[in-house]
Each structure stands twice: as C-alpha cells, then as structure tokens.
Chain A
C-alpha cells in the first residue's frame, strides 16, 4: 500500500504543482486522472524518487520513500512520460542492460527475464532492431517491459497512452491489465477511458489538488440523476453557459450537445442522462474551477 501525506511541491518559479496531496493507494490498478498541467507528472516523478518534494511524506509498505529512496528503487518500475532511447541500441541489448541496472546479476536469470518480457510485450520479432526506429506504440511496449523487470511491487506509468492510435492503445491497456493484482500500479492519464477500462480505484487531480477519489462505479452512482443533456445551436451556447453549470460540450453532426449539472429537472427540453465516468470527470473539473 502506498500512502502519500500532505505532499506539496513548489517549483523555483513559484508554481505550486502539488498542494497538500494526500492519497492512500491500495494494491491493484489505480487511476490518476487530470487535465494537462494538473500536477500528475510532478506527483509521479516525486513518487518515483526523481525529485524531492517541498514538504510531505510518502510511505510504501514499510519504506519511507523520501528518506530511503534507494530501497524503493529496488522494487520500483517506472515508465516516464515521453522518454527517449539511445541511438543504435537494439531492444534486446537495452533491456538486458536495464536488467543489469535493476540488479539481476546472473547471466542466465537475465536472459530468461529479458526473453520472457520481450515475448510478453510482443517485441520478440523485432528484438534485434534499433529502439530508436520503433513506433510510438512499440516504444511504449518496450517501456512497460523495462518497468516490469525484476517483479517490482510498485509500478508507475505516466501518461502511457498519449499519442497512441486506438489499436496500439488497446494493446497497451491489455498489457497493463495482465500485471498481477498483488502490486500497486499507478496509471496517470488525461484520457477518461483509460481509467474506466482498467481501474477499480481512482482519483481526480486538478491544479495540484486531489479533488475527488473513490471507485469509478461509486462516483458514477453518486452523480446519477444530476446530469442532463440537450442539443442546441452553437449560437445558444454562451446563453446556456450563463444559465446552467455546463460540464461538457460536444459537437454532434454540426450541432452542439451540452451536458449540464443540476439537482432537479431543469425542463427546457433537457433530458436525463445516465452519466458515465466522463461526466464525473467533467463535472468535478467544472465544479473545481467554478470554486477557484
């Protein structure tokens, strides 16, 4: 179990990237959902021991992460957002080198690890090709393979599906779903479907603060009966925004479909919507930003 207490990070230019973040993350897949710039990557990098926070505590099982980062690194798998690779190095060589760095000393054990991971992420056929020539999806699959070396108990994947086409994204999510339920996996993303597809628990982060957490289903149930939909002309959008709490707008066949949040039936042609996680997300962001 990963416990984060009052984590605050203020960058040198005064930007408060994390503001008193407290989270308790159980075993299994945990989704951290938030818009770009919400502080997701700062939180991920801090947990991955790459940067020290201004204040706060992080504990993973019996490891004090900030005091003894080297202990966490022994059991950590980290897939950062947009990483690069060395030129002219093949997938096999790089994974083998990563296995060395992760402390798998024996040549035989390393060979077994590398070969089974390359098969698992379906890169066996291209293991001798240079990583630098890989497509985005292949590179992310290599990324998850290196994160899984040495059976880590904490796995952090930061925005892994950004920029992947739908097919590659599916393939990548399937890989993530195969990771055992006995490890903590934190998936940060700005894509709602990533979380609804995979995560039994989640939190929404906005402007450096955790603004909602729970099980996606519970959050959807809490919102039931409060989301309403109407199709309007684009010209009427501003008026609607002034009158209602519009949580999302979407174009459909050239007209605008708006979702609003209201405790009772607003009438005026609005129809009740069986809200999904996306409505939870947008209503949370909308409520947070209104308060700000």
Chain B
C-alpha cells in the first residue's frame, strides 16, 4: 500500500501546475546564472563558469531558496483532504497512519527532488551555449554534478521537506507552514502551537 500511495502522490504532484512553474523558474534562473554575467548566484567560478566549485555553490544557494517550494509540495499533501472535502471518504477507509503520512511524504519529496533536477540540467545545457567565452568554460565533470545534487542539494531538500511536512501535519494549515518557513528562527515554535491550530484526530 505504501508504494502505491507514494506513486499516486508523485503522479498527482507531477500534474500540478506548481511543479511545472517551479521547474521553469528554477531552470531559467540557473540557466541565466550559467550563461550571462548579469545574473550571479554566489561568487563561485572566477575562471570556469561550470567549475565544480561554482556548481556546488549554485546548488547550495538554490536549495535554500527551494525551501519555499518544498513547503508548497509537502504542505499540500497534508491540507489537501480537508481543503477539497475528500477527507471524510479517505478516513472511512482502512488506510493506516504510517502509509498515509509516509507514503504521501515520499511522493511529495520525490516530486520536489525531481523538480530540482532542472538546476544541474540548466548548468549543463548552459555550458554549451555559443555566446559564452570558451575561455570561461572547463570540462563538464559528471562527478561535480552528481556530488552537488546528491550530497549537497538532496539532503537539504529532504530536511526542509521533513520539517515543513511535520509543521503542516501539526498545524493543518498551509498559511502557518509558510509563516514558519519565513521565520527559521522560530523553529521549534517557542510558544507551542500557533494560535489557530486545531489538530484533527489522526486519520
């Protein structure tokens, strides 16, 4: 049941406009940084625009901005049933807490991770653009892309996904999840739950 719920969740997220808007925005942002001098993400790559250090820095910085995106993905999972009114049907089935929460979290996290693939993709494609001074390009090192994506960006996406998923589960509110996303200093909430929090019983 776990894998099928995760699969349904992933397919659902891939169909959502949020996924494609995010992928487009992050692709263009990274592509711009990789190909023109007016857009810079971090200070890396003084010589080669696609140097391993520049790739790593771009991944790190963008994965922090990506926090808002993961919030949208994972908080949607939690609030969707109550927002759409499908909740009562869902809660009358035999789905267990583990499958419900972790299955859906896995699906949403995978969607966020897939969407972030546009970042290494944009750097890679950018390195072939004809208007870049060939002096500023080094060889494309596969290791650099793999390391930046899997070792730097992915853990960060997993961490933010988990934090905001937990927050959304407790508050059952998209808005409160965003409020906390914008106030990292407030984790964990020092005053307990936000004032309007009304946790429902587990499904």
Contacts and interface: CB of A to CB of B under 8 A. Distances in A.
Given A100-B1, A100-B8, A105-B1, A83 B86 contact: yes
Given A97-B5, A105-B1, 10 more contacts: A49-B91, A50-B92, A83-B86, A84-B84, A86-B84, A88-B12, A89-B15, A98-B93, A100-B1, A143-B89
A103 B4 CA distance: 11
A100 B94 CA distance: 10
Contacts, number: 66
Interface residues of A, number: 29
B12 A82 contact: no
Contact of B94 (A93, A102, A143): A102
* Interface SS of chain A: loop
A45 B86 CA distance: 14
B36 interface: no
A34 B1 CA distance: 39
A101 B89 CA distance: 10
The interface size bin for chain B is 20 to 34
Given A84-B85, A85-B86, A78 B92 contact: yes
Given A74-B94, A87-B84, A100-B4, A146 B89 contact: yes
A80 interface: yes
Interface string A89-111: 10001000110111101000000
Interface of B: 1, 4-5, 8, 11-12, 15-16, 80, 84-86, 88-95
A79 B85 CA distance: 12
Contacts of B15: 88-89
Interface in A231-271: none
Interface in A46-104: 48-50, 70, 73-74, 76, 78-80, 82-89, 93, 97-98, 100-103
